[in-house]
Amino acid sequence: MPEHWLIWAVVILAVLFDYINGFHDTANAIATSVSTRAITPSRAILMAAGLNFLGAMVSTGVARTIGGDLVLAPAQISLEVIIAALIGSIVWNILTWYYRIPSSSSHSLIGGVIGAVSISVGPAALSYQGIGKIILSLILSPAVALVTGYFVMIGILWIVRNYSPVDLNRHFRRMQIASASLMAFSHGSNDAQKAMGIIALALLSGGYIETMEIPVWVKLACATSMALGTSAGGWRIISTMGTKIFKLESINGFAADLNSSVVIFTATLLHLPVSTTHVVSGSIMGIGSAKRVRAVHWGVARSMLVAWVVTIPLSAVLAAFIFMCINALAHL
């Protein structure tokens, strides 16, 4: 296959990854507002699609982290390696979406790159310092969201302690539209950039660009793809995030959106990739604990934690296997 066809294969797969990310992860950005009926699913989808697009266009710091911090020398990484990493991540995301497991697309992408690079040119080609920084941000972000979510909920409950529950629900249902909008924008500012970074890595390794800069057409393609994917199948994840971890009321939904958006956008400003799934889950757990620790369905939380832990190694193994298949077919 000619080299230019390989780069187009990477672009198509990366755009497909963002499309799947749209219905796999973007659902988390609207899960709380839909589950509390602050906004209808159709309106939430349109809002999230538009604000995800805008968020994806405001920054490229996370994309440069993904494209530049995973491997030591992009020139050593073939386009076949990147293709295998993307296919492994996509397959994992589809499987977890189908079984309604809110695992992380970010974890699967990182795992896919680690597996494909390790089997092709060897683990020495990986940037362990960069990978360590990325994985640390992915691990710490839900813990931070849980702790800050607890205190945000405590603070809000203290502020509104003299209001009646009926008034609170009415007011916070309106406010939740604003917090959900902020959540969708911050999600786009972080999650859409991961595929941008992979495309930039492929362009750099193929000699199509000279520095780790994100072309405008890449930003537009990834932002549009994620926006389109938002409406494709998000309810499977919404039903888990919005109801099964902790039964949300409007005040809880507002607190979860506000807390999650601040954590995610702070990570974006620091050029750190985080998982929307993890951050929203951590926020909901923290907010639920502020009401009553036993109100949180920790059994669901534990099953989600297991999925998060196994995502990187399993997607790495999957990507490594796919690369071996691609390599075997190329030598037939």
Give the per-residue pLDDT at 314. Answer: 92
First to last CA, the chain: 13
DSSP letters, 11-28, are HHHHHHHHHHHHHHTHHH
Quick check: 105 and 20 in contact, CB under 8 A? Answer: yes
Mark 102-121 as b/e (b = at least 16 C-beta within 10 Å): bbbbbbbbbbbbbbbbbbbb
Quick check: 97 and 20 in contact, CB under 8 A? Answer: yes
| CA 14 – CA 179 distance, rounded (Å) | 29
pLDDT tens per residue across span 4-54 = 888 999 999 999 998 888 776 666 667 777 777 777 777 777 788 888 889
- The residue type found at 251 is I
| CA 209 – CA 237 distance, rounded (Å) | 37
Asked if pLDDT for residue 237 goes beyond 70, the answer is no
Q: What is the largest CA-CA distance in the chain?
A: 74
- pTM equals 0.87
Cα angle: 218, vertex 326, 107; to 5 degrees: 55
- The residue type found at 304 is M
In three-state secondary structure terms, 126 is: strand
pLDDT tens per residue across span 256-288 = 889 999 999 999 999 999 988 788 888 888 988
Give the per-residue pLDDT at 280. Answer: 85
Half-sphere exposure of residue 307, counting CA atoms within 13 Å on the CB side? 22
pLDDT tens per residue across span 114-155 = 999 999 999 999 999 999 999 899 889 989 999 999 999 999
